[in-house]
Chain A
Amino acid sequence: MNVSDFIDGITAGNRRVLAKAISLVENEHPLAKEILRGVYGRTGRAQIIGITGFPGTGKSTIVSKLVEEFRKREKSVGVVAVDPSSPFTGGALLGDRVRLEGADVSKDLWIDAKVFFRSMGSRGRVGGIAKKTGEVVKLLDAGGYEVIFVETVGAGQSEVGIMEIADTIVVVLMPETGDDIQVNKAGILEIGDIFVINKSDLEGAENVERWLKYMLSLDETIQSADKEVAKWQKRVIRTVATKGIGIKELADAICEHFEFLKLNGILKAKRAEKAKLMAIELAIEDIKAEILKRYGNLLEENASDPYAVAEKIVKELIKP
């Protein structure tokens, strides 16, 4: 298959072609960039939702239930689930697909033509997503999936990587995991648009909620100085995902957040910002490759003065 076969296949909704293209992107195949470039014009239609949170909070179950809910709303849904790759072997167990269950047996999400689920190994990148997750999401977007979930590794560190990709970020918490400590973890409050307290039938759910709301109110006071930007009221939603409780409300909140972003022009601004960063990123990548190619010897020979080498390279490469 050549580049145009890929582009045509993806935009025509051929899932096998889409799946192959994702592999090319993940493996940083030379064709990948061409394909992405070719479908870029078709992207930007989907709402991209990041689901992040601590291990064991039930992220995968929430994603599965949300897929079901958005299918009821007749949306086509893409899911990218990221699991950690071993830093030693590079191997990964990608286990989240198993939770993709429809409550109604007749509506089997595994074979639903409007659901595309893809598992990714983090392949060495930290921050909760893989290096290529953003580009894989672009392919799904181009493939016509209207709602795309990105489930992060969820190792419990601040998973800021998801901010580069998602329009809406859902942070999943649960009782028992050490209430306030969990909420206090750096980054959690800042990155979330919607907070879910899953397994809220367990003891301690109220405590987490109270504490979370208190922390959010503090956060708001600090930020209220900035009156220029329309302010999204961060939501706290209780769920019991295994029983489907609270999922509808969560889906509503996700939709409302998207409307909010669109209405206030924030979405446009955010995406413009992301496109800018992406352009820089892409340029840097090419430049880096070019530097290695052209100056490989120089770099090795002049290890004693990296400053001088850098100056020389920049002068030669970026001429006014």
Chain B
Amino acid sequence: MGELTEKIREKRKEWEKECLEPWLSKTEKESRKFETLSGIELKEVYDPSDIAHLDFLGDLGYPGEFPFTRGIYPTMYRGRLWTMRLFSGFGTAEDTNKRWKMLLEEGETGLSTAFDFPTLMGLDSDDPLAEGEVGKCGVAVDTLRDFEILFDGIPLDKISTSFTINPPAGIILAMYTAIGDLQGVPRDMLRGTIQNDMLKEFHAQNTIVLPPEASIKLVTDIFEWGIKNVPKFNLISISGYHIREAGSTAVQELAFTIADGMAYVESAIERGIDIDRLAPQLSFFFNSHNDFFEEIAKFRAARRMWAKIMKDYGAKDPRSWWMKFHVQTAGCTLTAQQPLNNIVRVSLQALAAVLGGCQSLHTNSFDEAWALPSEEAVRVALRTQQIIAYESGVTNVVDPLGGSYYVEWLTDKIEKLAWKYIERIREMGNGSMLRGVLKGIENGFFVREISEASAKYQRDFEEGKRIVVGVNRFRINEKLGIPILKIDPEVERRQIERLKKVKAERDSKAVKENLEWLKSSAENGENLMPAIFEAVKSYATIGEIMGTLKQVYGTYRKPIII
């Protein structure tokens, strides 16, 4: 191997001198700088000498085997396709239930719930701060009654459901469990995911209710409760998606997500949770952005890193080393101009996710720079996945890009850069990732890093170095706007009416007692989930439950760093 590498290196030098140099014009030599979207500098071409330091068996191996660079399952999509899961929800529970049934009929294989902002922030629909936002960006949920309607006619033993929700994640998990109980589905058949990743909210997404420490406590409570009660349910989706949407680079997305993952694992270990019991219930969520190969490399690096990390934390079961992840195509790349172009962007991003070995995938709809997706747009988004799955042939072979000099080099490069960040965070926490991440939240490290990257991206766009087709190049005169989904303005009124009705009909004494129990659990540092579960079943509202927690833990506003 060594000898061959030497030979290749020599040949490369010769090629550069005798073939490449004369080919390049003078101006090209001076101005040529090619880099990935995240700023990793690239050569013209890669060859075996670029990856000579990699060991096939140790660094790549076979799919289904450590370090899982090539995929967590031995057969990957030959065995089973990824779950086609479209994030959707709007209006009332009835509206969303109807959209879900349409998607299932069209061949969607998993549900994914978009909640409106009041629900995401743990506020009831009649809260003054919720005015104008009820049912707008997702479905409005106040009490278990809404969940009963949402899942009407949807058998929880047959379908898995994902919930993008964070501060009230425990409440939603409790609601889902209660619905499963009502449908008579055994608890160990409930499958799905709650996002429940509070740390990235502090870095990026900003759906924050409780302070960081209290947030971590609640996440860990959910782990502890979920392992016992819903053993097949992903109790967290450790998310880089929003970090990327906030403007980070691919490396930052990967590094901060893995750092957060490590922080959660450390918090669970501190709580005395068995890591091998928790690990199968962890999942991840990444963004698939425009730079095709960089994204694929990122996914492959992520799997390899997580396998090493979990092994180092002492997980023994090989399944604990798996990084299962969901991917969503990058919302921030969608353009309002010439919206049909978005279908092409989404296709490429989705293909990268598939070549990167994702377990489930959301494809954005082409009209989302204008509004929530229309039925037609969401259908195209689903069809995009189906075309990749059934027509392109990319699913026939596992990790088809494995061994590409470029992809392997880039995978390795991204991994190295991500480790650097992780070491920096670990230093901030004096050896603890949990403390390091909390420290980075407190001193603005994460936000500052992301802001700088985001400003650089914008500058490149403004200066025309970053081309966005149809926006700063190839513009046309077009009439702006496309037919969009309209949210019935009556939604807010109807939702508030339902809330009033539930409040009038429920056993208010039971609600009061359960909320008091929750309060005392919080004050005494006990696990909050048993009280949350009972409160949910007695039709306590999300606002009441989160309000009780706010009383004990206070609220949090993060410092502004521009």
Contacts of B32 in A (CB 8 A): none
**Quick one: CB contact mask for B538-559 with A, threshold 8 Å, 1 for yes?**
0000000000000000010101
Main secondary structure of the interface of B (DSSP, over half): loop
**Quick one: CB contact mask for B41-80 with A, threshold 8 Å, 1 for yes?**
0000000000000000000000000000000000000000
> Are B560 and A95 closer than 8 Å at their CB atoms?
yes
Interface residue range, chain B:
under 10
Considering the complex, give the chain A residue whose CB is closest to the CB of B444.
Answer: A56
> Are A93 and B562 closer than 8 Å at their CB atoms?
yes
Contacts of B557 in A (CB 8 A): 101
Q: Whole-angstrom distance between the alpha carbons of A101 and B559 in the complex?
A: 11
Mark out the residues of chain A between 139 and 181 whose CB falls within 8 Å of any chain B CB in the assembled complex.
none
Considering the complex, give the chain B residue whose CB is closest to the CB of A98.
Answer: B560
Write the nearest CB–CB distance from B443 to chain A, whole angstroms.
8
**Quick one: CB contact mask for A94-113 with B, threshold 8 Å, 1 for yes?**
01001101000100000000
Write the nearest CB–CB distance from A61 to chain B, whole angstroms.
8
Considering the complex, give the chain B residue whose CB is closest to the CB of A243.
Answer: B554
Write the nearest CB–CB distance from B133 to chain A, whole angstroms.
18
Considering the complex, give the chain B residue whose CB is closest to the CB of A96.
Answer: B560
Mark out the residues of chain B between 139 and 178 whose CB falls within 8 Å of any chain A CB in the assembled complex.
none
Q: Whole-angstrom distance between the alpha carbons of A93 and B562 in the complex?
A: 9
Contacts of A95 in B (CB 8 A): 560, 562
Considering the complex, give the chain A residue whose CB is closest to the CB of B557.
Answer: A101
Contacts of B555 in A (CB 8 A): 105
Mark out the residues of chain A between 70 and 121 whose CB falls within 8 Å of any chain B CB in the assembled complex.
93, 95, 98-99, 101, 105
Q: Whole-angstrom distance between the alpha carbons of A99 and B560 in the complex?
A: 8
Considering the complex, give the chain A residue whose CB is closest to the CB of B561.
Answer: A95
Write the nearest CB–CB distance from B180 to chain A, whole angstroms.
36
Mark out the residues of chain A between 5 and 28 whose CB falls within 8 Å of any chain B CB in the assembled complex.
none
Contacts of A101 in B (CB 8 A): 557
Mark out the residues of chain B between 507 and 562 whose CB falls within 8 Å of any chain A CB in the assembled complex.
555, 557, 559-560, 562
Q: Whole-angstrom distance between the alpha carbons of A98 and B562 in the complex?
A: 12
Considering the complex, give the chain A residue whose CB is closest to the CB of B555.
Answer: A105
Q: Whole-angstrom distance between the alpha carbons of A99 and B561 in the complex?
A: 12
Considering the complex, give the chain A residue whose CB is closest to the CB of B550.
Answer: A105
Write the nearest CB–CB distance from A270 to chain B, whole angstroms.
35
Considering the complex, give the chain A residue whose CB is closest to the CB of B560.
Answer: A98
Contacts of A93 in B (CB 8 A): 562
Most chain A Cβ neighbours within 10 Å, of B557, B559, B562:
B559
**Quick one: CB contact mask for A265-308 with B, threshold 8 Å, 1 for yes?**
00000000000000000000000000000000000000000000
Q: Whole-angstrom distance between the alpha carbons of A98 and B555 in the complex?
A: 15
Q: Whole-angstrom distance between the alpha carbons of A98 and B559 in the complex?
A: 8
Q: Whole-angstrom distance between the alpha carbons of A93 and B559 in the complex?
A: 15
Q: Whole-angstrom distance between the alpha carbons of A95 and B451 in the complex?
A: 15
Q: Whole-angstrom distance between the alpha carbons of A105 and B555 in the complex?
A: 10
Considering the complex, give the chain A residue whose CB is closest to the CB of B558.
Answer: A98
Q: Whole-angstrom distance between the alpha carbons of A105 and B557 in the complex?
A: 12
Write the nearest CB–CB distance from B551 to chain A, whole angstroms.
11
Q: Whole-angstrom distance between the alpha carbons of A101 and B557 in the complex?
A: 9
Q: Whole-angstrom distance between the alpha carbons of A99 and B558 in the complex?
A: 9
Contacts of B562 in A (CB 8 A): 93, 95
Most chain A Cβ neighbours within 10 Å, of B557, B560, B562:
B560
Write the nearest CB–CB distance from A204 to chain B, whole angstroms.
14
Contacts of A99 in B (CB 8 A): 559
Write the nearest CB–CB distance from A100 to chain B, whole angstroms.
11
Write the nearest CB–CB distance from B439 to chain A, whole angstroms.
11
**What residues make up the interface of B, taking CB atoms closer than 8 Å to A?**
555, 557, 559-560, 562
What are 7 A-B residue pairs whose CB atoms fall within 8 Å in the complex?
A93-B562, A95-B560, A95-B562, A98-B560, A99-B559, A101-B557, A105-B555
The 7 closest A-B pairs by CB, nearest first: A98-B560, A95-B560, A93-B562, A101-B557, A95-B562, A105-B555, A99-B559
